[in-house]
Chains A and B, each alone.
Chain A
């Protein structure tokens, strides 16, 4: 053998040694489990072969997660079920494997499940069904996937909906309770309304008598009684008139709480112009000038807004300064959202989702001290003597109640002897759960 051939042989041997050692290494690695899989060209195509339970981690995942997982044949035979599913069905896992999935579907869901199972053969499907575990029905959400071509099976994931259903049931119960309470409340209001109606009538009766007989007395004794005595009779007459007004006002006040009232789109300009017509005569008498700027259209109860405007305009005219022509300005603006929570408006707890219109009634009358600005809205509160200015002390309380009924707010700014401004906040639209009746 010559040197060249010998060298060639040696180098080939080195090569073989290297390849052998590499192969031995690979075999060792396989033996001691430090490799999981390999990729190799088989029939010209690269393929991956798994050596040990590489899918171990996947198995752990499927076993441990809180969903039911099953592998089903195309006939619905369970070839694999994770422990979650068998626990859910209250059946030992060994029993589950080898049984049919249909054994666990509640009767009412059988047809539906078959439909979706067939659907899944074309790809995947999802639906809500009832499972039955030892006579207990369990609502679940199932997801079926055809695992072909890799596997001739259908994979199924089961999600327990019991808790969700429980919650839904709770919500339903609460909604029903709420509805019942609402009905109760409506009935209560109706009774209160009836009561107020009847009470006011029964109260008015004796009053009427007082007024009637006082009138009679006056007529009979007018010429025979002393001036003083006639005055006394007049006082009785006036008091009973006042009382009659009071009863009416209280009745009106109590009526405002009607829940049945429906909110409708109301053009405030129209309401205001009607109100002003009612005061035609008085406006003339007081030589008053009324300026009206455009008011918005809002969702409201027209009769109540009518009452509201009536009281405010009435007050503006009533408290005009003597000798000075009354000047009233009614205007509006959309309340900027930043102002909804400022010092003036935060107490009204305005709804951030709604837009509000701020309507102002400004007059140049006798005004009042700002410190009384909240007090005046209390029922029966007055800042003036009965002799100077007539009134029952209910007007502004009524305004506040109306405004509250509309989920808005009312406040006043004034100076002693320098007029007053009443600000009313009304939402442009009422929130959904108010309007729906």
Chain B
């Protein structure tokens, strides 16, 4: 029996993600690659993804206390969740986001 995530019921609503990068680093490149993979394989059209360059938009630090690059923040559904790094641990991200793993 599968472990139903408490969030699955809310799965109908879109997940809103923000990926913060710096544009020129290896880490940022990897993070983009990984989130793309993630979205294609597991999330499909259930997700709204925004990619933000913190050099160009340092004002993101207004809302958060600190924003790392690269990092992925789930703004919705609440509570906010942050994943720091290049997201290479895909499973951790998936579980963290509360998405059911497709068979």
Contacts and interface: CB of A to CB of B under 8 A. Distances in A.
Question: In their complex, do chains A and B touch, with some C-beta pair under 8 Å?
Answer: yes
Given A22-B82, A34-B85, A39 B60 contact: yes
B78 interface: no
Contacts of B58: 39, 46-48
Interface in B25-81: 25-28, 54-55, 58-62, 65-71
B70 A58 contact: no
A133 B64 CA distance: 53
Interface in A39-73: 39-41, 46-48, 50, 54-58
B25 A26 contact: no
Contacts of B65: 40-41
A25 B68 CA distance: 11
A47 B66 CA distance: 10
Q: Say what secondary structure dominates the interface of chain A.
A: mixed
Contact of A35 (B61, B62, B70): B70
Contacts of B59: 46
Given A35-B85, A46-B59, A54 B54 contact: no
A356 B62 CA distance: 72
Nearest to A18: B79
Contacts of A33: 27
B24 A39 contact: no
Contacts of B60: 39, 46
Query: Most chain-B CB neighbours within 10 Å: which of A22, A26, A36?
Result: A36
A34 B34 CA distance: 14
Interface string A17-35: 0000010011001000111
A44 to B, nearest CB: 10
B94 interface: no
A9 interface: no
B22 interface: yes
Given A35-B69, A35-B84, A46 B24 contact: no
Given A35-B68, A48-B54, A40 B61 contact: yes
A185 interface: no
A329 to B, nearest CB: 77
Contacts of A41: 61-62, 65
A40 B65 CA distance: 6
A40 B59 CA distance: 9
Contacts of A22: 82
Interface string B11-31: 000000000101011111000
A37 interface: yes
A29 B84 contact: yes
A39 B58 CA distance: 6
B24 A57 contact: yes
B84 A55 contact: no
A153 to B, nearest CB: 19
Query: Most chain-A CB neighbours within 10 Å: which of B22, B60, B62?
Result: B22
Interface in A297-321: none
B66 A36 contact: no
A15 B54 CA distance: 27
Nearest to A60: B24
B61 A36 contact: no
A390 B66 CA distance: 107
Given A26-B66, A55-B24, 10 more contacts: A26-B84, A29-B85, A35-B69, A35-B84, A36-B25, A40-B67, A54-B24, A54-B25, A56-B25, A57-B26
Interface of B: 20, 22, 24-28, 54-55, 58-62, 65-71, 82, 84-86
> What 4 pairs between A and B have smallest CB-CB spacing?
A34-B85, A39-B61, A46-B61, A57-B24
11 contacts: A29-B68, A29-B84, A35-B27, A36-B22, A36-B28, A39-B20, A39-B60, A46-B60, A48-B54, A48-B55, A54-B22
